[in-house]
Structure 1
């Protein structure tokens, strides 16, 4: 049953407005229920035909709101109600209410300009003024004016300037729902702006007050980022009053199950410490008090310097009002602000829209490629600054996406299909020419979300990372290797932690990479399994970031000079700290230690010859050759000047093949390098050999031990001069040489790889384990009529371990005696499964 909410009183007004116009602007206070009830009203009152698409600025809100509506309507999530966020799509042909993030709607409009099947587009929390929502609103209005007069457009918020939005839309009606569900008492503290007291300690002090003064109710604490969240959690846990209280984090990068734990009701009292993801839309039942640090990390782009900034800034009055409203959702509440009322009144009324503070190059490219008009003619809700537009066009011109007149080029059109910054789109196209599409897709995936590596780790974790084979030359290479490690570990959080890898971030990077790979293949880019030259990958990175070229100023520090007269500092954890010349995929201005520092992140070492090839008119030259012990190769260092940047060196491989081969073999044997072709089939073959050697010693099959492994590695590395020469070299043929022809024939006879079950569609694979067992998986139905006496290997000598599965391929029982299973526990298994799988045969 739906709980009555203030927004319910707006039903008649909504019906009347929809009967008169198809553009509605709605303002309703926090806690009124607009995000969940308005879409249901549109559906239940038959106010629109087709799907109701609700835009949310945050993925967590889209997911949780869809789940909430499905729960209220007592329907399965993904049926009548669904959602689509990055890497996750939960919907069906029956979905009528669908929550999406703004970028996904833009891509949908690019591929389906008339939004076929969509009856309404609802812009929730429009006051946040995300760049994508601004563009989508302009496109929706133009679509309605040209081809879809039936399309309903709604903009909603608790702090929206309804008059301004209605005026821009034209012929729009304004609706308002009065009253918050419950009153919230606002309290101010007198913490001065220049106070040196950590904000987490100040917040913990107010949490202590609330725990002492209030006997019930959860507490929501707002902090600017995950670092401050964890410090706050630590400070609160140290309070004597925190005994028996759950203290939980909530931010966008958390796994969904941890997010759900923070927002779902619990029997005990909770303190939730969150970023601004909890500011709008989300309902957190039981919150009766808010402690607000009044800060957020705000992304800004400086069009003068081309630097992405992420600074902690005071939130606006509107944002503070939204946060306070979290305490009034389910009962009277209080909000304690860690700033004075005077400070509050001096804050801006609203946040600066994204269109005024972020990089516009991806948006401009999308406008041009979709035929939506150029930046000068597009009907912006609020036009960007001319300097920001010019900077975006300059970046696109540097990438070859637009010509000197700002018109889209053929390569720009090809770049536009990739849902990423144009820099990465350009890299992917270059990768198609340099035959490294797969690797660059993974790099693009790594760059889309948070870093998969924890920044500060102990020596044990560093050693674990070093044990994973990785190329030199780019901060992306260790991430590529560790991403593969995480994939191999199936993103298990504990296992990934041992390598200092954020499992959830790695999973998202892998999903993004797969999406890029599908797009690349769809564009006809070649994807091969040939040996990839790491230099080709680095060239692609250079093509995407030539305006972020940097040279180390001296060997004793990490200070760098960049093109266009900028300076910065290479991050200490960079894997290319010894590189002289580099490009940085991220140039961030970070507020830290009381100051602002420009950091170069995700850096890649660059060869000067590549610059000369791409920019031949901007060089002068001095050469010398030396042996670089840290690189384990002879390098030729070529000094050059590029534009206004003084270059000192490039490096190229020049190692004697015999020495390189020995080093490579030692590194592989020590586990610091990885032979990519030494894969699962190779290891499976070795386990078969050792299984046969153990169970049939009379055959004289030699054990494949560590000494055998070293011999094979040395043979694989013969003649190689660099890791790139051996990374993709065939291994299986060399490993198979461990057995004679007769022994190999015996292996196939005694230890087959597969077994034919007449009732199974495909032959069942036999897995030989390291502990000397042979396992086979099959469902109950696939085992019917098959004699248990045949489930043996080594000519009947060794019984298999049979993993008996349900029709859903979930193992129910393991046995080495199938006949005993039929006579014994089968009836119990059948009784348990037949009700769940009635369409399957049960004897």
Structure 2
């Protein structure tokens, strides 16, 4: 067997021996040969089949082809691969390369992995959902079913400690690539807007294209350009129309992906997404131009909408990208940002489990027997909120029961090899629309890039006419085992029924110039959409970008109300609602009101519930008398405690007797308060919290209980002459706060200690005011003076 000299060869023997002991983790930088040389060494040195799991289909096919070439064979012999819709293995296959998603399916179908001796999880640092699941399932498989199963996880970054801990594995480190990569910093000369949602500033793409042209002039060899997605790849391709261009991203047909990975005469520019970061080699590349951007999922769990966001790539990703330039010879990387900005990049990308939609992840856990993932060797536990949403969705789809355990229908859905929503549409929709039509529509929903526009039915007709190979192959895969009943449904209704079964909360009815979805979110069509004006839509794809009020409809089918009712049966409900304004009965599809009618003689409990809800919303109408009573009762509650009740708004409303009330205007807070008085203690209310207190002149002054901790008694200084002790209330626990007033009624002193005021405060007050108010008495000794409300007679 001819093997090119690569750094990983120095540790092949060590890796095989470590794996022979049960499990190992190999840390090997990009370009060291771990993906192709290690599986062959494991197959030669250990018994049983070697199963290699790659995070992407393109990497799985490329790795299998390269290993077969190294053995001088064709794929399907000693080395084969299996990816969704494409399998090339034979009876003599010793090394089979699969996607991590397919490995998870195999584990669910056959937890023992019969016939497999070693499993290698490649690029585990990328932290895809299926990678995390495969690792966790394999660890439990070894612990309970297959102690002889050998495991190897490989990582292109040094951050492998957590995986080694989960596998209880020894870490083997391979040397770096033998070729140096020179780094050139190429930030834009002028400021550009940072990415926002899916939007990338065209000025930045101009800059990337300019850097590519510079690299072309200054270097030799092929140029690999990293961009966040297919849209930016197309934009830069237009800017470099005069250059020899290949493109490489996950949405391309397999044949076009494979073509980009084959060498060709002359130089070329390869515009690629993150699929080219690791696991595969783009031959001929000596130069990398890195935009420094990545595309990551974002989920709005409250609205059930997902979106993609463009972010700065993590430093670990940029290191892997740079390594592509040194795979075959010394190279150079042009980074479209500054060294200063590089220091501010996050060290590692976020794991998918922290940011992705988790419905498929949760179904796999349920089918494995661990609905919440507890006890499994997951690198990170999934967020509670995201898992709650996922379990709720699965329960609505009939995939799990009330305890989160997988139902028989859920197990069937997991075997489809599609998102649980799409699996539900296929299995439940095929009897109504036919097996082949259901498979064809679900194949479009699984890869919405097949639809050139937002009209799903039109896209379906176009694909049938053009017989797109990628779409046809996926439809044939999905059709296997599904119902084949004939159907006479028009394309729009058939497609819409399937979409509604997958996304019942996205059934939508026109309201003004927007659509209200059954889930309660508004959505709008793009201007000029052929779907504009249709009264009902089944929305397959919608997202809400940052800063936008409503969601944007990306793909939908026009339907009628009957189809909406059929697809959204679980959301149909009859709701009786009574408000302060009246009562009505509504037929609803989720948040969509289908029909309203007057509800005569509504149940009394609904009337009371509506009145109480209205009271909570608008509050009670407090009269002055009711307010004063509440303040006095509040003073007793805070000072004396039980049995004196809490008289907050919420508690008073809770005690309102609505049995004989039909209108809010009839609610009397004072009557409610008096019903809350704790008898027999209430008989002492006047003693404990008197409404008025007598002052030395014999007048009754009103107490102000606005502050229950400091009730105020306001009295003029002349009326308090001879008063030596401050009055106390609340069974003697609280001294009132005296506001001693001038003849004009303005406070001149505030005190709880009258005796102290007469000694120290009064002389100052007398000196200041007796000239201003000469007709009022200002005796030198107020403690012995006669209190009065009168003025001195004129002379």
1:591-740 aligned within 5 A: 598-609=551-562, 610-611=564-565, 614-618=570-574, 641-646=588-593
Q: Which 10-residue stretch deviates more, 111-120 or 417-426?
A: 417-426
CA distance in 2, matches of 1:129, 1:619: 45
> How far, CA to CA, are the matches of 1:42 and 1:59 in structure 2?
22
Given that 2:366 and 2:404 are in contact with CA atoms closer than 8 Å, whether structure 1 keeps it comes out as no
Match of 1:137 in 2: 135
Q: Partner residue of 1:731? A: none
Matches within 5 A, 1:346-745: 346-371=344-369, 373-434=371-432, 436-455=434-453, 475-487=455-467, 506-520=468-482, 525=483, 527-529=484-486, 531-532=488-489, 535=493, 538-554=496-512, 557=513, 559-572=514-527, 574-590=529-545, 598-609=551-562, 610-611=564-565, 614-618=570-574, 641-646=588-593
Rounded Cα–Cα distance in structure 2 between residues aligned with 1:354 and 1:381: 11
1:252 deviates by 2.3
| Deviation for aligned residue 1:127 | 0.8
Q: Distance in 2 between matches of 1:179 and 1:423?
A: 43
* Paired position in structure 1 for 2:745: none
Deviation per CA, 1:681-722: give whole Å up to 9, x if none: xxxxxxxxxxxxxxxxxxxxxxxxxxxxxxxxxxxxxxxxxx
**Runs (5+) with no aligned partner, structure 2:** 195-200, 578-585, 597-795
Instruction: Report what 1:221 is aligned to.
Output: 225
Aligned-pair CA distance for 1:9: 0.5
Alpha-carbon distance between aligned partners in 1 of 2:383 and 2:82, rounded to the nearest angstrom = 32
| Alignment partners' CA distance in 2, 1:321 and 1:416 | 36
SS of match in other structure, 2:112: coil
Deviations 1:58-101 (A, max 9, x none): 11111111111111110121100111112111111111111111
TM-superposition CA deviations, 1:396-428 (whole Å, max 9, x none): 122222333323334334433322222222223
Question: Which SS does the other structure have where 1:406 is aligned?
Answer: coil
Q: Among residues 210, 222, 230, which one is paired with 2:234 in the alignment? A: 230
Matched position secondary structure for 2:393: helix
What SS is found at the alignment partner of 2:111?
coil
Report deviation, 1:39: 0.7
Contact kept? 2:185, 2:336, Cα under 8 Å? yes
Instruction: Give the aligned CA root-mean-square deviation in angstroms.
Output: 2.8
| Structure label with greater radius of gyration | 2
| Compared CA separation, residues 404 and 530, structure 1 to 2 (3 A) | closer
Alignment of 1:267 onto 2:265: yes
**TM-score scaled by structure 2?**
0.68
Q: Structure 1 446/187 Cα, relative in aligned 2: closer, same or farther at 3 Å? A: same
Match of 1:315 among 313, 333, 338: 313
TM-score scaled to structure 1, two decimals?
0.64
Aligned partner of residue 288 in structure 2, secondary structure: strand
Residue 173 of structure 2: aligned partner: 176
Distance 1:136 1:142 in 2: 10
Are 1:417 and 1:519, in contact at CA under 8 Å, matched by a contact in 2? Answer: no
CA-CA distance at 1:205 after TM superposition: 1.6
Mapped partners of 1:395, 1:88: distance in 2: 30
1:529 & 1:154 partners in 2: Cα distance? 48
Q: Structure 1 residues 263 and 440 mapped into 2: Cα distance closer, same or farther (>3 Å)? A: closer
Number of matched residues?
576
- Asked if the contact 2:400–2:407 (Cα under 8 Å) also holds between the matched residues in 1, the reply is yes
CA contact 2:297–2:309 (8 Å) conserved in 1:
yes
Deviation at 1:372, TM superposition (A): 5.0
1:434 and 1:152 map into 2 onto residues whose CA distance is 46
1:301-340 matches, cutoff 5 A: 301-340=299-338
Tell me how far apart the structure 2 counterparts of residues 259 and 546 of structure 1 sit (CA, whole Å): 35
Question: Which residue number corresponds to residue 27 of structure 1?
Answer: 27
Q: 1:147 to 1:131 in 2, by over 3 A?
A: same
Distance 2:112 2:529 in 1: 47
Specify the SS of the correspondent of 1:514.
helix
Give me the whole-angstrom Cα distance separating, in 2, the residues matched to 1:415 and 1:31. Answer: 38
What residue number does 2:297 align with?
299
Distance 2:366 2:554 in 1: 30
Q: 1:23 to 1:212 in 2, by over 3 A?
A: same
Task: Quickly say closer, same or farther: Cα 1:330–1:417, change in 2 above 3 A.
Answer: closer
Determine the C-alpha separation between the residues in 2 that align with 1:301 and 1:197.
26
SS in 2 for 1:519: coil
Give CA-to-partner distance per residue, 1:141-162, whole Å, 9 cap, x none.
1111122122111111211412
Deviations 1:580-602 (A, max 9, x none): 232311122457xx979732233
Structure 2 vs 1, CA of residues 333 and 538 (structure 1 numbering), >3 Å: closer, same or farther?
closer
Q: 1:416 and 1:177, CA in 2 relative to 1: closer, same or farther beyond 3 A? A: closer
Preserved CA contact (<8 Å) 1:445 1:511: no
Q: Secondary structure at the match of 2:480?
A: helix
Q: Secondary structure of 1:229's partner?
A: helix
Task: Provide the rounded CA distance (Å) in 2 between the counterparts of 1:179 and 1:378.
Answer: 33
> What is the aligned partner in structure 2 of residue 36 from structure 1?
36
Aligned residue for 2:240, secondary structure, equals: helix
For 2:329 and 2:300, the matched residues in 1 are separated by: 43
The answer to whether the Cα contact below 8 Å between 1:436 and 1:532 also exists between their aligned partners in 2 is: no
CA distance in 2, matches of 1:613, 1:126: 42
Evaluate the alpha carbon distance shift between residue 141 and residue 335 of structure 1 in structure 2; reply closer, same or farther with a 3 A threshold: same
Change (3 A) 1:49 1:231: same
1:608–1:640 CA contact under 8 A, matched in 2: no
* Equivalent residues of 1:581, 1:648 under 8 A apart: no
For residues 138-187 of structure 1, give each alpha carbon's deviation from its aligned partner in whole angstroms, at most 9, with x where no partner exists: 111111112212211111121141212111222x1000012222111112
- What's 2:5 paired with? 4
- The Cα shift of 1:574 comes to 5.0
**Maintained 8 Å contact 1:551/1:648:** no
**Corresponding residue for 2:211?**
206
Aligned-partner Cα distance in 2 for 1:179–1:296: 25
- Distance verdict in 2 for CA 1:267–1:386, change over 3 Å: same
In structure 2, how many angstroms separate the alpha carbons of the residues matched to 1:260 and 1:615?
45
Q: Is the 8 A contact 2:52 2:120 kept in 1?
A: yes
Answering whether residue 245 of structure 2 is matched by residue 247 of structure 1, we say yes
1:377, distance to aligned residue in structure 2 (A): 4.8
Contact 2:422 2:446 (C-alpha < 8 Å) held by counterparts: no
Q: Distance in 2 between matches of 1:384 and 1:350?
A: 18
Q: Is the 8 A contact 1:121 1:154 kept in 2?
A: yes
CA distance in 1, matches of 2:362, 2:204: 39
In structure 1, how many angstroms separate the alpha carbons of the residues matched to 2:131 and 2:15?
A: 23
Q: Report how far residue 605 of structure 1 moved.
A: 3.5
Partners of 1:220 and 1:271 within 8 A in 2: yes
Counterpart of 1:163? 161
Which residue is equivalent to 1:698? none
Which residue in 1 is equivalent to 2:193? 194
Alpha-carbon offset, residue 481 of structure 1: 2.1
Change (3 A) 1:407 1:253: closer
How far off its partner does 1:299 sit? 2.3
Q: Match of 1:363, SS?
A: helix
**1:540, CA displacement in angstroms?**
4.2
